[in-house]
Structure 1
Amino acid sequence: MAEQTTPQIGGHCDARFAGVRTAFAENFRERGELGAAVTVLLDGEPVVDLWGGWADAARTRSWASDTLVNVWSTTKGATALCAHLLIDRGLLDPDAPVAAYWPEFAAAGKQDVLVRHLLSHRAGLAGLRVPHTLAQLYDWELTTARLAATEPWWEPGACSGYHALTYGFLVGEVVRRVTGQLPSTFLHQEVTGPLGIDFSIRLPEEEARRAAELVPMPAARGGERGAAPRKLAPVVLAALANPVTGAADANTRAWRAAEIPAAGGHGTARGVAALYEIFTGRRRVDSGYQVLSAQAAERVREGQGSCRDLILGTGLGHDTEIGLGLWLSGRHGSYGPNPRAFGHDGFGGSFGLADPEAGISIGYVMNHMGTHIADDPRKMALVDAVYEAVASSV
């Protein structure tokens, strides 16, 4: 790829984290970045908060300090957080059958599927067996009813299989059955509103002016909707292409307004870092109330067994392990050198990371979607730079 000019970079970066600023600039020069932001919190304090580039493909709008963007599956961390708040409060049992909260879910042999199976992508419901359009995806009642009625693709609990879109409806419906609120409302009421975190699962119409335009990955330009693979197993197609979604969809008002708790979150890098910091078990509100207990934060990264993911395994090329909602860094270092650090990547490159031992959380958002299934080179350059800075200052 030909080198690009580095745009003006705004924000601040502590001197000891200068390498992160260098990596951020190199993402523009060497890795095809268009517009992006990165925030690093160390023990709750912002040591890196940078942004730069363009908020649209035509390069007419500069990326600003408050530019937000759809972060795709990085949203799953926020949805998992809703469930863990309920677990922490004794309102949800991860070892209870899903049907204890959602009776209709017991259909088609799913009476023994546990809440932990939903959180760890082991429910066998990675996609629907019947054709499901994008318009139907926007219909919460229809989508959850179809999921309740369908049979699993594999034995629940046996192995993970990435629930790309269904995750949010499955976990989200349990949240709704327990609280009476959709995940977007519960998240705002219990977390983002009180803490002033710039992140939402449904983007309010008045905030659309701040939204960056997503730009599709190079291979999908000009034919995004017809780019779904054709020679994949039925379960993989069901998970990743029923319906097919892409940047063009995510730029619409319909997508932004819809309740899609697996992929429809919008936030700034600052907002993502703040959300994922809660998973370190250290975040408190001004009154001193701890948002998520240390025990609950530890539960989030309770590994459910390493395996070759049934949906993403071929593309990733190695075994992975998912905790109760987030992916563990593991021996491949997807979220830094601590194998028990954890986080979630979003389609195209965004990510959130939490490392309780190091006291680190990271949020990275961008609008030019990359081609990697996970561990986008821009992400890994930033993660490596953060941990190099931490190691050199010890």
Structure 2
Amino acid sequence: MPQIHGHCDDRFAGVREAFEENFTERGELGAAVTVLVDGATVVDLWGGWADAARTRPWERDTLVNVWSTGKGPTALCAHVLADRGLLDLDAPVAHYWPEFAANGKESVLVRHLLSHRSGVAGPDTPLTLEELYDWETVCARLAATAPWWEPGTRSGYHAISYGFLVGEVVRRITGLRPGAFLRQEITGPLGIDFTFGLPESETHRLAELVQERPDRAAQAALLDRMTPVAVASLLNPPTGRAAPNTPAWRAAEIPAANGHGTARAVAALYGIL
């Protein structure tokens, strides 16, 4: 059992117990958890290791790629613009991003992007990892893609495309990608330790992502059942086990999938929402 650091209010002792059980019963390597109530920090715990070799302890300021948790901060950028009257959630996306109107998307509204209802769950042509790392390439592909279903009629998870779609609207209005806008308007002024991608100067604080080896048979069976929409959303391109630990992934801006921060930062950002 690794040593657990930080503090936990007595009334939330169950959170500490559950956190410890992740290590004793579920094979947790390293982790952190922070809980805010009415702006006050009532739980702030961390422990374990930041690498598979167990050479680096998880510290108070250890950063981790938080995957889809970055969708919230991406949405926050859009909501800040809406709050300032610069973004109309009921306006067509093409009002801000004219190229997006291609292939039947002229009626897609900004709120459809935010609620996974645009039909653009992913590009309709294959992307390579190198192309995923290029903002302009991904946005051009998404703008040219026909919706996978009639926009606004149903919801379907925009696993990777969400960050580019919402983020490009932010860029068209402000001239800044969501990472720069978030830093300028929110995380910088408030001292929140969160970025899209990760500056090379901060990699010494980064936790290695360690995934269990997949059950090949179960994985193959799952792939056989996946619809073309699911493939477009989740596997275009397939990131694999290694990509998120590479410098290329960290250097890119993929707001729906490569936000990096501490548990404390995530709690602060979602507290704002």
Which range, TM-score by smaller chain? over 0.9
Q: 1:157 aligns with which of 146, 152, 158?
A: 152
Partner of 2:182: 187
Question: In 2, are the aligned partners of 1:107 and 1:149 still within 8 Å (CA)?
Answer: yes
Q: Do structure 1's residue 95 and structure 2's residue 95 form an aligned pair?
A: no
Superimposed CA distance per residue, residues 73-106 of structure 1 (whole angstroms, 9 cap, x where no aligned partner)? 0000010000000000000000000000000001
Please show how residues 45-194 of structure 1 align to structure 2 within 5 Å.
Answer: 45-194=40-189
CA distance in 2, matches of 1:65, 1:153: 43
Is 2:206 aligned against 1:207?
no
Unaligned 5+ segments in structure 2 are none
The separation in 2 between residues aligned to 1:260 and 1:129, in whole angstroms, is 18
Structure 2 distance, partners of 1:150, 1:270, is 37
1:372 aligned partner: none
* Residue number in structure 1 paired with 2:259: 265
SS in 1 for 2:34: strand
Shift of 1:228: 7.8
| 1:33 alignment counterpart | 28
Deviation string, structure 1 residues 59-84 (Cα, Å, up to 9, x no partner): 11110000010000000001000000
Aligned residue identity for 1:14: D
Q: How far is 1:247 from its partner?
A: 3.9
Q: Distance in 2 between matches of 1:88 and 1:174?
A: 15
Mapped partners of 2:221, 2:142: distance in 1: 25
Q: Deviations over 1:204-247 (max 9, x none)?
A: 110000000000133169xx9x9982442111111111101144
| 1:249 counterpart residue number | 243
| Runs of 5+ unmatched residues, structure 1 | 1-5, 280-394
1:214 to 1:106, Cα distance in 2 relative to 1, 3 A? same
Counterpart selection for 1:239 from 221, 233, 240: 233
Provide the C-alpha distance between the structure 1 equivalents of 2:158 and 2:36, rounded to a whole number of angstroms. Answer: 29
Q: Which moved further from structure 2: 6-15 or 240-249?
A: 240-249
Contact 1:228/1:244 (8 A) holds in 2? no
Where does residue 277 of structure 1 map in the other structure? 271
What SS does the aligned partner of 2:88 have? coil
Q: Give me the TM-score of the superposition, normalised by structure 1.
A: 0.67
Q: Which residue of 2 aligns with 1:13?
A: 8
Contact 1:126 1:235 in 2 (8 A): yes
Alignment map for 1:340-359 (pairs within 5 Å) = none
Q: CA deviation at 1:42?
A: 1.2
TM-aligned CA distance change 1:227 to 1:195, over 3 Å: farther
Which amino acid in the other structure matches residue 258 of structure 2?
A: G
Once residues 101 and 276 of structure 1 are traced to their aligned partners in structure 2, the CA distance between those partners, rounded to angstroms, is 26
Q: Which runs of 4+ in 1 moved over 3 A?
A: none
Q: Structure 2-normalised TM-score?
A: 0.96
Take 2:212 and 2:70, find their aligned partners in 1: how far apart are those partners? 19
Aligned partners of 1:34 and 1:53 also within 8 Å: yes
SS in structure 2 opposite 1:259?
coil
Report matched runs for 1:368-387 at 5 Å. Answer: none
Shift of 1:18: 1.2
- Indicate the SS of the match to 2:116: coil
Q: Between the two proteins, what is the percent identity of the paired residues?
A: 72
8 Å contact 1:228–1:241 — kept in the other structure? no
Count the aligned residue pairs.
271
